[in-house]
Chains A and B, each alone.
Chain A
Amino acid sequence: MPRVTVTVRDSGGRTATTSVSYTVAPPVLGGYYLSGNADPTADMAGGNFRSLTQYRSFADGYVFPGYQRPWLVELGKAGVQMNMVLELKHYGAPTFGPQSFTVDGTSYTVPAPAMTIQQRPGTTWPRAYGYGQVLAGQCDGLLARALSQYRTLGFGVNIQLASELDTDHEFGTTEAGKAYTWAESDARAVQAMTYIVNWFRARPLPAGTTFSVGVGGFDRACFQRTHPETLMAKLNYLQWNVYATSPTHTALARFRRTKDWAVADLGPVALSRPVIIAEWGVRVAEIPDQARWIGTVPAAIATLNAERGPRIVRTNYFNSGWGTLSPKSSGLAALRAAYATRPYV
């Protein structure tokens, strides 16, 4: 840590000396996600892309690196920082019954996922392993399977538990026939996330392993409920997602929203953690010139990082869903230009 020292000397040679230490942070990592967890190598080639988000379900037998995803190992070994979103959510394979499998010589049987999440009226509610199931140890086999695969990767990753707890809980959850409100679901999730992080941390992990919990960051009360100091003490990063979905949305305002809530509502441990933006995107329907908006992001991040509060250290563009780049070529060119600009360099 660099240090600046001041010496004051009087005419008689008497001195007073004082010093102050400071940190010069490394550049923010510009990152990416390509729809369907697809191979992003071609899109990233030649650009200053140094970070990647990926989504996996604990229900999947191939969490690390993922089914037919050798490119993830190549990118990781090349130094791309991986934000692996591991979800209790079941991705909707035709069968979601119990699973029996063997991990490193130990046999496990995991029951069928017993919770529903994202209970938006008029939609089919996705299934997920329940927070109660996690706390009862019924999902330990899923954790063991993921860890065993993780150890073969050859590099450490950030494990983001859940994609967006606020999206999962917004309309309540149901586990084993019992309904829980949004706030009750948040409290149960905090217990389950704590259990999972403790489970991993109690075992040898690849060097550089870090943890965070996933939130969209669109609801202030939920953000506060899901970031108690007891849980944050076990986590390495804060995380939220950022989308521009209105012509009035500026990059500074959108990236700032959840940060302001964090600074106002969270404790010192949480605020000591840097921030991963696991997803950010510009919705072309409302903002046809995505490239122009993308071009305003570096200055917005620099401004926010110059203010007090947690620093944003990775921003991964979500080229899917709301963030789909259209046309892709100009969007990618804008991303490349942005990531070639301070604070990304």
Chain B
Amino acid sequence: MAAPTATASLNASTYQAGDPMTLAVRYGDADTRPVTVTIVVTDAQGNSSAPVRVTAVIDPLTLAVTDDSGRTWTRASDNGSVAVYQAVA
């Protein structure tokens, strides 16, 4: 299994107290794959059910964000490769 990768960037290096802060996290893992499993049930007479599709992710990733100043970061969006978190300075 491959190890995940992550890079993080803030929208500024210095904030005034009260400013909105935005953190963008780009992340991934070579093993992480979306898969779709399609199931069709067939009986002895050859009758088949309608196909049923199930989606799953192989080796899913979880993100954790911590801040040593105690600031709370809230996830605003996450598309599977870029997650955006927000806080207040």
A binding-site residues for B, Cβ under 8 Å: 2-12, 14-28, 302, 305-306, 311, 342-343
**In contact, A14 and B65 (Cβ under 8 angstroms):** no
Count A-B pairs with CB separation below 8 Å: 117
Beyond A4-B23, A4-B66, is A16–B8 a contact (Cβ under 8 Å)?
Answer: no
The chain B residue sitting closest to A311, CB to CB, is B14
| Interface size counted on chain B using CB atoms at 8 A | 40
Interfacial chain B residues near A311, Cβ < 8 Å: 14
Secondary structure dominating the interface of A: strand
Given A14-B3, A18-B7: A8 and B27 interface contact (C-beta under 8 Å): yes
- Chain A residues with CB below 8 A from B76, complex form: none
Residue of A nearest to B67 (CB): A4
Closest CB-CB distance, B89 to chain A, in whole Å? 5
A25 proximity list for chain B (CB < 8 A): 14-17
The interface bits of chain B over 1-28 (1 if a CB of A lies within 8 angstroms of the residue's CB, else 0) are 1111111111011111111010101010
Q: List 16 A-B contacts (CB under 8 A).
A: A2-B67, A4-B8, A5-B68, A6-B8, A6-B27, A8-B29, A9-B63, A11-B59, A16-B6, A18-B6, A20-B9, A22-B14, A25-B15, A306-B16, A342-B18, A343-B18
Kindly list chain A residues whose C-beta atoms are within 8 Å of the C-beta of B31: 10
Cβ of B14 and Cβ of A8 under 8 Å apart?
A: no
Q: Are A8 and B13 also in contact (CB < 8 A) when A3-B68, A306-B19 are?
A: no
Across the interface, do A16 and B4 meet the contact criterion of CB distance under 8 Å? yes
Q: Name which residue of chain B comes closest to A302, CB basis.
A: B16
The smallest beta-carbon distance between A265 and chain B, in angstroms, is 22
Q: State whether B1 touches A14 (Cβ < 8 A).
A: yes
| Residue B53 CB within 8 A of the other chain | no
Given A5-B68, A10-B32, are A24 and B60 neighbors across the interface (CB < 8 Å)? no
Tell me, in angstroms, the Cα distance from A15 to B3 when the chains sit together: 7
- Is the Cβ of B71 less than 8 Å from the Cβ of A10? no
CB of B14 within 8 A of CB of A10, answer no
Asked if B44 CB lies within 8 Å of chain A CBs, one says no
Given contacts A8-B5, A9-B4, 20 further A-B contacts (CB under 8 A): A3-B69, A4-B68, A5-B67, A6-B27, A7-B63, A8-B27, A8-B61, A9-B61, A10-B31, A10-B60, A14-B1, A14-B4, A18-B6, A20-B9, A20-B23, A22-B21, A26-B17, A27-B16, A28-B16, A343-B17
